[in-house]
Structure 1
Amino acid sequence: MDWLLHFLPDLVGREEALLRAIPRALIAASTLGIAIATITFLVKRRDLPGVYKRVALAFVLLLLCITLSHGVGAFSLFSPSPAYQRVFDSVAAVIALVAVFLIRFALPELLALPSPRELQRNNAHLKSEIDSHIDTMRQLTDIRGELEETVRMRTREWKEINQRFEAALSGSDIAVFNQDKDLVFTWAYNNPHFEIGAEEIIGKMDRDLFAGDVAAQIVEAKRAVLSTGQGTSMNVVVSTVEGGTQYLRLSIEPLRDAAGETIGLTSAVFDLTERHDYETRLQALTSSLALANARFDLALRGSAIMVFSHDADLRYNWIYNPPTGLAPDIMLGRTDEEIWPPEVGRPILAMKREAVATGQPQHGEIVMPLAGSDRHFQVRIEPMTAGNHEVIGLAGVVVDVTESHLQEAHLRLVMRELTHRSKNLLAVIQAMARQTAARSDDPQTFVSRFSARLRAMAASHDLLVAQEWHGAILHDLVNAQLGQAIEPGSDQLKIEGPFISLRPDAVQNIGLALHELTTNASKYGALSVPGGRISLRWAIRDDNRFHMRWEETNGPSVQSPQKSGFGVTLLERSVGQALDGDVTLEFTPGGVVCEIDIPASHVIA
């Protein structure tokens, strides 16, 4: 019992100490747990600002001070140790000072922190900003959706355009390329028509694709475009792998960015080989056609042939070489009914309608009034048919045969005139024969004289035939008749008179007169001696009369004949009467003088 009595005071004292130590221990444990939790928080939240970290560290130190103080206090209740207590109190004091030191330097920054009201305002402003940003994000989301839809639409359009682009180029002889400023190919659409593929072009330069001289020419042109910013085009000729020739046309344009700066080139290459071949053949055909047209034009130029064509409505759509009095302007686009009066156009309209109805060529002759006179035309019309043999128009040739008709009429007139002149000529020859025979002593003399007179008539006729019986030049007539006895230009002959022509009747009669005068002068007159002279003059007098004078001088002495011979009779009677004029004949001692005076109507101006 003594031990119990001894133990009970100790037990009561320990119970009281325990009751005092437990709260301290709990406080120490709690503050230690809070300190550990704070340290864990700081370790995991390394992104906190420094001021927060320093305040938290001070808080941890204070908590450790409390933990240490209460822990040591609780322990000292069971095992009092003043020295141990003082050490821990000193450590706790140092830790507290460190905490105060940390708080001291963090205090200005803590004071700079916003107040709760400011934080509330800032929070409200931040919330407003966040709401605004949310609206903006929503709008951006809507815009993004619209942009994505636009991008999808543009992408679809681009694909469609690219497909159309490729489809268009695939059926053509065109290739398109892009190059950077160093002239390296960066993109290519090469038509399958070309020998090299697009993948073989990208990354290469012109010198890798073309021969040296061609590449130099192309590079020079492209560098000029890069320098000036102005597009250009050029033609080049290259050799193909098969050894042929390919004709290319390059169209070079600057490639620009959104700011308008030149960043490279875009080029289109056109294969003109087939076109060149066509143009070569076309040029040959054009030359042949031009030559044919020239021949056609030469054949019809100056001729009386008109060529024309009609459409299905019988309207003139082409006319070449229209006759005098017609012009293409008044005929093109019109029908014959619109051009000619009914009585004039009816015959040719009938021919054309018959050709359209039957499909068979038609021909005939028509008469039309043109340029104030009737013109005769030979017409031939050919139907023009399509592949189904349907008549789609007419082609025609019109030949002006008016001159032929006039020539035929003139020929008939000439034949009548020839018949008349032949009768007159035969009558003259018959009269000459009778007169020559009556004044000839023997047949030989008759033949000689008659033949000479026939030759004189033939000489006059030769001159008339040469001029188609329109007349003869008087100088030629004089030379022809006097040439039988004297050389033209002889000193014995002097001729004076204007250059005129005589009509056929005057040519024949004056020719006979000159023959008789020349024959007489040769036998008995001025031409029978070397010194004789003949002067022959003619003129048109004011009284509208033609006057010719034959005068002989320096010849033998002349006496009037005892009886009139054929020559005198011919001069005085036949020539004068035939030409409605007068013939005077004088036998002067110096020589024969003959004057012929007839109306000027026998002279051709």
Structure 2
Amino acid sequence: MTSVLEWLFGTARFVPHGVCLLWRADLVALHVVSDIVIALSYFAIPGVIWWFVRRRPDLEPAHRRMAVLFALFITACGLTHVAGVVTLWFPYYGLQALLKGLTAVVSLVTACALPFVAPKLLRIPSPRALAAVNDRLQQEVVAHQATLAALETAHADLEHKVAEQVEDIRVLNSRLAAGLLNSPVTLVEQDEDLHYTWLFNPPKGVDAEALVGHVAADIVDEEAAAAVESLRRDALKAGEVREGEIRAQVNGEELWFLVRAQPTRLRDGRAGLVTSSTNITPQKRHQEHLRLITRELNHRSKNLLTIVQSIARQTAAGLDVPAAFLERLGERLGSLAAAHDVLVDGAWRSADLRAVIEGQLKHHMQTFGDRIDLAGEKIELAPEMAHYVGLAVHELGSNAVKHGALATPGGRIEVTWRAEPAGDGGRTLRLDWRESGAPAKPPPTVRGFGRTILEVLTPRAMAGEAQLNFAEAGVSWSLSAPLAA
């Protein structure tokens, strides 16, 4: 330990550095002032570096280590200058040499580390680059502020529009509620399992809130529930509106409903239905009443036809009138009565063409069975058309039995009809009567009333055209007439 101190502070064999300067006051003063100023500056710089590192916690570890090396290097340099001042009066050259050696080591480490840290330091943006980035950021801030202002304006407009739409919906709902309240229409919403999720204006005696989560069977009888659930499931499966009339027992009362099921999406996104059920019980009862009145009128009309037929027979009894006349008159009056029955079934609005033809050929079809073939689509005739088609088919059937295809064992009759598109956008009826296997007979030379019905009265009354042919195989008759829209 003594030898180390002697090496560091031994002065026996050395003279102070001032001796080398011959103790000239100007040189000594210049050395002292310069070294002290340099040392103080070197000691101040590490303090600034330390302050900077403490204020920049975001610096990378490599940058921090480099800052520490620079601080140590500069501090060591400052100590060497302090040692230079001391050795002017005290020859502690060992201590000065040790400080210079430490400074050399720190300098070397710093110099070796600097090439590795320099590329990272180069990536630190320059003030100009930072200023440019700052300018761009300022521009982006201004743009974002403008966008924010536009968004706030759009948000305000949207809130205003939403408020208007909410008010419109509220007014619409209040109008809907006012219109449906105490009306015969009930609205319900159901999920895909047909559980009620919402009901409005239910039938009298039914609690809407209590039925949420229930099914139709909890309101109506089992048969009606099965019918309405079948209709609703069909609407769900097809994705289309389905409607139908349902008779149901509600609170012990028989009611009729017109049910219309519309597929929709529920609030939670699941598939569901909105169904309107209109109580049509009063209309049904009125229709039934009208049906009874119409049937009574039909009964009285047929009685009147019977009276006409009876009067004709009684009048002909005292006159020279052929029996065939009375027979044909009775048959034609019967034809009118048959057409009348079909019109009654259609409430005098229309008559099904197949029903009209079957009504005229009913007795023949019972007698000759499958020798009479009927084929055609469903076509509704206006009431006045039904009477004339009935008369024409009656005449053709009577002629076939007496003179045509039904007068021989192998004869057949084929009656077909269809609706064809017309040039004016409407539809045209095409009715064909064809006989085959009829006995060979020459065409009639006398035009009777039956032929007049087929060739003149029927097509003229229906604003159409008709063609009657007497072929070798049998009679054929074609009718073409416009159908009512």
Q: TM-score, normalised by structure 2?
A: 0.43
Specify the structure having the higher radius of gyration (Cα). 1
Of structures 1 and 2, the one with the larger relative CO (CA 8 A, separation 6+) is: 2
